[in-house]
Amino acid sequence: MEFKAQSIAEFLNGTVEGDANVTVSNVAKIEEGKPGTLAFLSNPKYTKYIYETEASIVIVSNDFQAEKEINTTLIRVDDPYKAFASLLDLYQMAKGTKQGIENPSFIDPTATIGEGIYLGAFAYIGKNVKIGNNVKIYPQAYIGDNTIIGDNTTIFAGVKIYEDTRIGMGCILHAGSVIGSDGFGFVPTEDGTYKKIPQVGNVVLEDFVEIGANTTVDCATMGSTIIHKGAKIDNLIQIAHNCEVGENTVMAALTGLAGSTKVGKNCKFGGHVGVAGHLTIGDNVTLGAMSGVTNNVKDDKTMLGAPAMDISHAAKVMVVYRNLPQLRDQIITLQKEVAQLKGQQSN
């Protein structure tokens, strides 16, 4: 489909600067823009590309000031990033959505299926499963017995959902994610082997949770592992048994939570964060990339490093760390001077 600049501006409550009748049929990054595409400028470090991009339309902020001639049509809005996200939603809807049940697939006779469902080929729906309206389940997904899935949830190809899982409405589970696999629970025995502890709990994903590709959320040993409303979990993340992740918390790739960790609301975890088991992370906590958390963290803290420490202290530690070679040389020099002084005193 093609969209005119004027139509896009009206949708975004923005204003056109340039050719209001120019059309676009695709989107692109500003540095890779081609004729017929739409891009946006939000990050100042990409400003140089607006003078050379071939994109037909670029969304910019109302306060953007051009320093030289621009050859593309601009649409000015309050927040280019949010505006572009809204357009991507519109673009996705314009592409259409899948519906219907493909064959071969299996639906147990005891399962309940809502209206407007899409079920891809080779998908499996177990006993007593309840699936809401407008749910999309892509090929080769497995939905275990007694699972409940809310309206408008999307489950991409190859997702595995173990029995008794509870998934709210508007959730997105990306390809290869595993929900409800056994927690890592073993008891050492006298002969040095390990006896497995049965994991009899489940996983609860509340409304509007997003789980990234190849992420695993383990079931609880007893009770529930819970991901609360609006949490966004990136790819390749491990959330262990009996963990709890608060509302609107976001976690970047390769983060790992050990068992029974409790994370508060509105937290932000950078990539490769590790959190030890049985800890409590407060609300509004930010953990920098590769932080290693070994103690509880209070509300509103920003932590960095391994072991993680308050960012103000971590900055001081980093200064010392960067200067270690120089400090080493100074210590060696001082040692030599002390040795000389001792030699002079003994003489």
Distances (CA, A) of 13 to 81, 94, 127, 276, 317: 14, 20, 49, 47, 48
Please report the pLDDT score of residue 42 as a whole number: 94
Contact 245, 273 (CB under 8 A): no
Query: How would residue 344 be classed by pLDDT, with cut points 50, 70 and 90?
Result: confident
Query: How would residue 327 be classed by pLDDT, with cut points 50, 70 and 90?
Result: very high
Please report the pLDDT score of residue 96 as a whole number: 65
Q: How far apart are CA 191 and CA 196, in angstroms?
A: 14
Query: How would residue 55 be classed by pLDDT, with cut points 50, 70 and 90?
Result: very high
Q: What is the pLDDT of residues 89-115, one digit of tens each?
A: 877 776 667 899 999 999 999 999 999
Contact 124, 105 (CB under 8 A): yes
- Work out the average pLDDT over 231-257: 98
Whether 335 has a pLDDT exceeding 90, the answer reads yes
Percentage of the chain beyond pLDDT 90 is 91
- Work out the average pLDDT over 153-171: 98
pTM reported for the whole predicted model: 0.86
- Work out the average pLDDT over 75-85: 95
Q: What is the dotted CATH code of the domain comprising 3-94?
A: 3.40.1390.10
Residue the block writes with tokens 């990539």:
271
Percentage of the chain beyond pLDDT 70 is 99
Q: How far apart are CA 324 and CA 333, in angstroms?
A: 14
Please report the pLDDT score of residue 343 as a whole number: 84
Name the residues annotated as catalytic. Answer: 241
Residue the block writes with tokens 């697939």:
105
Q: How far apart are CA 314 and CA 299, in angstroms?
A: 18
Please report the pLDDT score of residue 346 as a whole number: 78
Whether 72 has a pLDDT exceeding 80, the answer reads yes
Q: What is the dotted CATH code of the domain comprising 100-312?
A: 2.160.10.10
88 or 332, higher pLDDT: 332
Please report the pLDDT score of residue 89 as a whole number: 82
Average pLDDT, the chain: 95
Strand partners, 238: 216, 256
Whether 338 has a pLDDT exceeding 70, the answer reads yes
Cα four-point dihedral sign 295, 298, 300, 301: negative
Q: How far apart are CA 229 and CA 215, in angstroms?
A: 18
Q: How far apart are CA 51 and CA 162, in angstroms?
A: 52
Q: What is the pLDDT of residues 133-155, one digit of tens each?
A: 999 999 999 999 999 999 999 99
Please report the pLDDT score of residue 90 as a whole number: 77
Please report the pLDDT score of residue 159 as a whole number: 98
Query: How would residue 209 be classed by pLDDT, with cut points 50, 70 and 90?
Result: very high
**DSSP code string of 183-196:** P--EEE-TTS-EEE
Please report the pLDDT score of residue 7 as a whole number: 94
The two beta strands, 302-304 and 286-287, are parallel
Please report the pLDDT score of residue 155 as a whole number: 98
